[in-house]
Structure formats: C-alpha cells, structure tokens
Amino acid sequence: MTNRILDHPVLGKIDGEPKISFRFNHQILTARSGETLAAALLANGIRRLREHEESGAPRGIYCNIGHCYECRLTVDGKTGVRACLTLVKEGMIAESIEKLPTPLKNRGIYHE
C-alpha cells in the first residue's frame, strides 16, 4: 500500500521511477528516485519525524518548503537536516531527533 499519487492529472504518472531503499529509525523503507526524504516518509505513512526540543511533543512536516525547520532529522550522521529539502538516496540512513540542546536554557533566557 502506498500513499503516493501515482497518476496525477497535471504532473502525469510516476509509476516508472526506479525504486530505492533507505532506513528511518531502523526500518527499511522504499522510495522513488527523485523524491524528497519528507515525501518518501509520508508515502510510507510516517508523520512523526522528531520531538520538540523542550516539550517532547511530536513534530512533522509543516511547510514542506524549507522555512519552518520542523522536519529536521539526522541523515547519514549529520544532525539538523531538513527532510523536505533533501532528496532520498539509496542506502540513506535517517533518524529522528529526540532532543536537541537548548542554547536559550544554557544562557538563562529560557525558563521552565
């Protein structure tokens, strides 16, 4: 079962694109060549990408154009990569960010 639009009335069919595999949080998933990581995760039914730095609330795709930074993941060992701007690649390893250091807390600006 896929959540992809395989035959779009304007963009056409994507069914012929080569399939590639990648990992997200230790799951092996399938993507289409040319998809962003965010689109591939959404197509695999994954909406929770990370947790909020302070509250731990689930975060996912919000703007899908690189502005909000809600889709940050660790990708191939690099933390803070925006899934909506990153093309998925064969063998890519993506992981959720559970908690980031909070610079505001360390400077006394943020108070609980």
| Site residues, ligand FES (CB under 6 A) | 61-64, 66-71, 82, 84
Kindly tell me the sign of the dihedral angle through the C-alpha atoms of 54, 56, 57, 59: positive
Query: Under a CB-based contact definition with an 8 Å cutoff, are residues 96 and 25 in contact?
Result: yes
Look up residue 51 and give its two tokens: 């947790």
Smaller CB separation from ligand FES, 69 or 110: 69
Query: CB of 61: closest distance to ligand FES in angstroms?
Result: 5
Query: CB of 67: closest distance to ligand FES in angstroms?
Result: 6
Smaller CB separation from ligand FES, 52 or 112: 52
Query: CB of 37: closest distance to ligand FES in angstroms?
Result: 10
Q: How many CB atoms lie within 10 A of CB 81?
A: 17
Smaller CB separation from ligand FES, 29 or 86: 86
3-state SS assignment for residue 38: helix
